[in-house]
Structure 1
Amino acid sequence: MKILTIQYVRGLAALLVVIAHNAAFLGDYWANHIPGALGVDVFFIVSGFIMTFITRQAPEEASTFLIKRFFRIWPPLFLVWLVSLVFVYPDRTIGQMSCVLYFCLQDYSSQGPTFGFSPLGPPWTLSYEVMFYAVFAISMRLSYRYRSCLCALIFIAAMVGFQLFYNGSFSFSSQVSPEMVVSHWWQGWIKIASNTVVFEFIAGMFLAELMVNDKISGSRFIRAVAWVALALAIAFAAITGPQVFGMSGGFWPALIIMASVIMLSCHKKNANIRTLSFLGDISYSLYLVHYPVMLFIKNAIPPSAIKNGNPAVFLLSVAVSTGLAAVMFRLVEIPSVHLGKKITRIILLKRALQGGQS
């Protein structure tokens, strides 16, 4: 079951990231004033919420959970990687781009949480998503009932423990990471696991637990407070503009936005706004394709065409990205998700048959 308002938020968060990255086509003013990072902060909170919510709605094993997540994320990523390698980054080798496929980042000596970003740009966030899925699956295996609590405790222990061990102190800033030289792949994951941007996943899980356990009131007063809080958070983000990721930046308006939306969703059936629902459906594909599309267009036109801003180029880039995302959602995402579900059903059937024979 989908919560429509969460679907809307996910779609709008993706669109915000797309607009922020393409804002350079509008000129320096817009590029410096659109809070695109807020979209990522919202994404992470949404992920924490959804994983807790869907595993409550339809309990499953940790292994099948991971299989479904793999087929949800990796096939679309691989396609965008392959097309980008050919048409957007022809001067780069497969070796230079390969770290995208196993979710490693480019420069762990730079500031967190991006660590030099992914070679594809925005998909740096998938490193955190994949880590969250892995820890969440482990928590499911240890105790399904308390999976959210265990997941949060593991992350907090990792953040505090690694920072204290390597730095001798702990910071809530997502720009801080363990002071270590990354010479092996697993050390990169220490950097990621110790980044406090992970608190956003924890916040999402906490909000989901409140909702599924019916701890959120649907009274008129609460709904009024939620509307006011939502308006203030959006206004704050619009006025302050770009901020850093995490608790020293976009975490707080993102948390207020998500909490307000959830309070407004409880105990009330929401109208299905097809445009926003569609935007939520294609949000992952849109997030993946928009940056390569933007770079392709930027490289294809003369610099003079966008020197002082060109709204037509901005609209072209956003429109092409949205169109390609819709196609990829239909032709890649949906079949891939269905394949993942089919494989998990086969696995569960085999286990049931083996259990019946023993």
Structure 2
Amino acid sequence: MTSIHSIQYLRGLAACAVVCFHVSEQFGGPFNVGAAGVDVFFVISGFIMWVTTAGKPADPWRFMRRRITRIVPLYWIVTLLTAAGILIKPQFFYGHFFSVANFVGSLFFLPVLQEGAPHPIVIQGWTLCYEMMFYVVFTLALFLGERWRFGVLVGALVAVVALHFVLPAGYARAFTDPVVLEFAAGVVVGHLWLQGARLPLGVTLAMVGVGFLLLAASPLFDAGMARALYWGLPATLIVAGAVFAERARPFKPASLPSFLGDASYSIYLWHVVVGVLATGVVLRAGLPAVLQPATILVVTLAFSAALYLVVEKPLNGLLHPQRAKGAVKASKAAAAGGRGMMSQN
């Protein structure tokens, strides 16, 4: 299937927004809305998983195997290095929690819970706990005939969230958080996209604009409201508006945002531990306080993206050699005026 470049753009934007959020938080800044990049990722994940499997022979075990080999190895590497950092310099890893139980649990996406939410060694890895739960549900749905798959999958995700309001505190309740609905929203958008739905360009751009406006205004009404509403709904509007805008008016991708999309997983996973190192270097260099946040942000983004080239890309080539060969062929086709293949989360 052809590439959806707007998805790549949004992946890169979401990863950069999360980095901005953490740097802002470090200096007491006001950019809490940057954390909504996670919600954009969740909607994108639902979209991509549906679009890349619909209309193809179902192979649940292959799907789960590919998801594990795509997500787990790099996550384990970052978890090991973060754990080492916590043990060596715990004062540099504020908010992190190390214990043997949490380390082992983090590796298998069942970390300790703090205030009812997953709190793994790699603190931003809480999102991967929900990703893996979604992959389990998706894998089970792949055992069904395609006629039933969409309705059962969306219904199952809604049912999971319904359990949140009746289950006692613990892992079961933590993994039924309403944020799970964001995956379902992405699946619905992907289903409509595959059905060939079209919207006028003006409508799609308005959806994106309204989505960003709602994110900007979210601090005004997020008190007491579920995250799936005050960030998930805008994230869904942004993703849906972007993919249907591209369908209405295709465009030639630019190199930098496409690269950031490719590197988004590395940026997301590496940025906290890289940010700790960057903070140490910047503070030791004695830069004026006013320059420190921007410098740390730029250094963190640059090095986290570089680690995509140094670690993640070779690792994926080793674990998915056929996919790597396909990417090379797609790249050559794109250079000749063709279209590449969609990148997966």
| TM-score normalised according to structure 1 size | 0.78
Could you tell me which of 68, 93, 103 is aligned with 1:97? 103
Partner of 2:16: 15
Asked if structure 2 preserves the Cα contact closer than 8 Å seen for 1:71 and 1:340, the reply is no
Higher RCO (CA-CA < 8 Å; seq separation 6+) = 1
Distance 1:289 1:333 in 2: 16
Match of 1:350 in 2: none
Amino acid at match of 2:14: A
Q: CA deviation at 1:22?
A: 1.8
Checking the alignment, whether the CA contact within 8 Å between 1:49 and 1:206 is kept in structure 2 is yes
1:147 is aligned, of 146, 149, 154, to: 149
Cα displacement (A) at 1:257: 0.4
C-alpha distance in 2 between matches for 1:42 and 1:132: 15
* Separation (CA, whole Å) in 2 of partners of 1:88 and 1:321: 19
Per-residue displacement from partner, 1:82-131 (whole Å, max 9, x unpaired)? 222234543545544222210013225x14xxx15322111100111111
Counterpart Cα distance in 2 of 1:234 and 1:198:
21
How big is each residue's C-alpha offset from its partner over 1:39-74, in whole Å with a ceiling of 9 and x where there is no partner?
011100000000000002643310111011110001
Q: Matched residues in 1 for 2:262 and 2:55: separation?
A: 19
2:188 is matched with: 206
Indicate which of 174, 179, 186 corresponds to 1:197.
179
Q: CA deviation at 1:248?
A: 3.5
- Structure 1 residues 266 and 285: CA distance shift in structure 2, 3 A: same
Select the residue among 40, 45, 62 that pairs with 1:64. Answer: 62
Q: How does 1:1-358 map to 2 (within 5 A)?
A: 1=1, 2-24=3-25, 27-28=27-28, 31-56=29-54, 58-90=56-88, 92=98, 94-107=100-113, 110-111=115-116, 115-164=117-166, 166=167, 179-180=168-169, 182=170, 188=171, 190-214=172-196, 216-218=197-199, 222-240=200-218, 246-266=227-247, 268-299=249-280, 302=283, 310=292, 311-338=294-321
1:191–1:120 distance in 2 versus 1, CA, 3 Å: same
Deviation at 1:329, TM superposition (A): 2.6
Residue 202 of structure 1 aligns with an amino acid whose one-letter code is A
- Superposition TM-score, scaled by structure 2 size: 0.81
Give the letter aligned to residue 136 of structure 2: A
Over 3 Å counting, the alpha-carbon distance change for 1:63 and 1:340 in structure 2 is: farther
Distance 1:224 1:72 in 2: 37
Matches of 2:104 and 2:281 in 1, distance apart? 25
- The alpha-carbon deviation at position 228 of structure 1 amounts to 2.2
| Alpha-carbon distance between aligned partners in 2 of 1:21 and 1:306, rounded to the nearest angstrom | 20
Report deviation, 1:286.
Answer: 1.2
Distance 1:241 1:325, change over 3 A: farther
Contact (CA 8 Å) 2:112, 2:118: kept in 1 or not?
Answer: yes
Change (3 A) 1:66 1:298: same
Amino acid at match of 1:228: A
Deviation at 1:161, TM superposition (A): 3.6
Identity value in percent? 26
Paired residues in the alignment total: 311
User: Shift of residue 249 of structure 1?
Assistant: 1.8
Q: What amino acid is the match of 1:297? A: A
Runs of at least 5 residues in structure 1 that lack an aligned partner in the other structure: 167-178, 183-187, 343-358
Cα distance in 2 for partners of 1:323, 1:87 equals 20
Match of 1:185 in 2: none
CA RMSD of aligned residues (A): 2.8
CA distance in 2, matches of 1:11, 1:273: 12
Range moving further from structure 2, 199-208 or 293-302: 293-302
How far residue 145 of structure 1 moved from its aligned partner, in angstroms, is 3.3
1:250 CA displacement: 0.4
Contact 1:139 1:151 in 2 (8 A): yes
Paired position in structure 2 for 1:355: none
